Amino acid sequence: LQVSMDRIVAIKCLAPKYAQNDKFRERFLREARAVARLNHPNIIQGIDVGDSNGVHYFAMEYIDGPTVGELLKRGGALDEKRALNIVTQISRALQHAFNHGIIHRDIKPDNIMLTREGVAKLCDLGLAKLPKDTGDASGTRPGASMGTPYYIAPEQARGEQNVDTRADIYSLGSSFYHMVAGEVPFVGQSAADVISKHLTEPVTPPRVKNPLVSGGVDWVIVKMMQKAREDRYQTPTELVRDLEAIAAGGSPEGYQQAAQQKSGALPKLRRGRLMRRTGRFRPR
């Protein structure tokens, strides 16, 4: 309880055995610095950070609700409408972070909290990449991967230093996959096996795992999880546009064209050219 403001807050403390470790202390302070730069309804609000009698602490808003990870452990796949709403909210949070030069780098269901009113809150920015971070300043060594294996973007798995918001989009896509399919995109005997699949194996569309997944959501998730970041959504704003279109009963941009190509249907002009070449087309 924060007596001065008459409100309940959550307090994260760095255990004494980790406080002397530069790596753990830097990660702890990094989260506080990242949250201090952000003010968004879908990002956990930081209140205070400090040191009391040698104990490092970080006070933040208290969320009286579960994480998405906890929901998945309790009951498997979420209702698509609910999952769509959560991912749309977190996409807006990512755009806000992107606007401030911050990359989360550890998007996963356990780092998404839900209030009783259904507001999604992105939390745990301990691995966040801050503006002007490079090399060791970003909390990483060149070639060292960061993130959680089940949701990690390929470029993070390779330990690349120039990761950007598209890595967060991939990890959010992996989380979205888990929400609607009821299982993670890739499994393996070890973390290395899972990471290898993120690097090399095409993702099985979530609709294969759960036929209740709509075509539009299936298409969006597969696009979010493309191996090459140039093939994903380039910004969270582009992603939000398609998610909102689905929620409104429409289709994501490019979905209908992709569906036509998959079914073998050809645009009229292209069909005309083909028929002319085969002699079956006779212009009037």
> Which residues lie below 8 Å from residue 68, measured CB to CB, with a gap of 6+?
78, 86, 109, 110, 112, 113, 114, 120, 175, 179
Written as six digits, the tokens of 69 are 């990870």
Burial of 74 (0-12, 13-18, 19+ CB in 10 A): exposed
Cα distance between residue 92 and residue 100, in whole Å? 13
DSSP helix/strand/coil, 60: strand
- What letter does residue 124 receive in the DSSP assignment? -
Residue ranges of the alpha helices (H) in 20-149? 22-37, 68-75, 80-99
Active site residue 106: yes
Which listed residue (6, 22, 64, 106) is catalytic? 106
How many CB atoms neighbour CB 182 within 10 A?
Answer: 15
Residue numbers annotated as active site: 106
